[in-house]
A and B are shown apart, each in its own frame.
Chain A
Amino acid sequence: MLILTRKIDESIRIGDHIKITVIEIEGKHIKLGIEAPKNISVHREEVYQRIQDENKRAADVQQLRIQSFADFWKGKQQQSGS
């Protein structure tokens, strides 16, 4: 991992198009400003990880479960339709 030291208002540049600036430091909180091309998604790491984890759980699709749900759903639709 590359480690750089920066002060408030100083930036780092990643490649030609991404710039990250230290905006504010307050105690343990650091505000960063990120300029990146609009086709680059920027996310908090823990949110991205939660999505990854959930996708891994979701990928274990068991047909029996989907069938039980679908049967229940059909019953419900018929009830509300009658």
Chain B
Amino acid sequence: MKDLFDNLSYRVEDVITFESGIPGFEDKKHFVIVNVPEHEPFKWLYCVDDRVLRFALINPLLFYPDYNPQVTKADIATLEIENKKDILVFAIVTLAEDFRESTANLIGPVFINSAKRKGKQVIIDDNRYSTQEKILRS
């Protein structure tokens, strides 16, 4: 079957390095963010080490305007953050069979230092959130 990313081209400088991988996929360290206009509001976190691995990302603030995960000293060190403005925050989405039931992982946001192209899925210690927060709440 034809895959969405069969003909994907990307620039080496667009590759984001996740030095410790992503929990559950610790050996996968290189990803690119792909925008597919017809898939908005999602973006894709596509693994260039393993063409089968990809995640759907959203900007959590679209659905949880008060969401403000703390960037710790450890994150600043790992991601080599010099300016907090360089940090992009995404949540990984689990798409349910009924899309209305889809959830976002809000205790494991993905931080990306856009200046250094470094990424990390952090774990926040905040019991207001879970790994499965519904994104459509009405």
Taking a contact as CB atoms closer than 8 A, the residue among A48, A56, A58, A63 that contacts B93 in the complex is A58
B25 near A58 with CB under 8 A, answer no
* Residue in contact with B105 in the complex, picked from A43, A54, A61, A67, CB distance below 8 Å: A54
Task: For residue A7, give the distance in angstroms from its CB to the closest CB of chain B.
Answer: 28
Residues 38-82 of A contacting B (Cβ, < 8 Å): 38-41, 43, 47-48, 50-59, 61-63, 65-70, 72-74
Say whether B92 contacts A54, CB under 8 Å.
yes
Task: Bin the interface of chain B by size.
Answer: 35 or more
Interface size, chain A (Cβ < 8 Å): 29
- Contact across chains for A51 and B23 when beta carbons are under 8 A apart: yes
Contact present for A70 and B74 (CB under 8 Å): no
Residue of B nearest to A62 (CB): B95
- Report if B97 contacts A (CB, 8 A): yes
B40 beta carbon closer than 8 Å to chain A: yes
Q: Which 6 A-B pairs have the closest CB atoms?
A: A52-B24, A65-B95, A55-B24, A54-B131, A69-B99, A51-B108
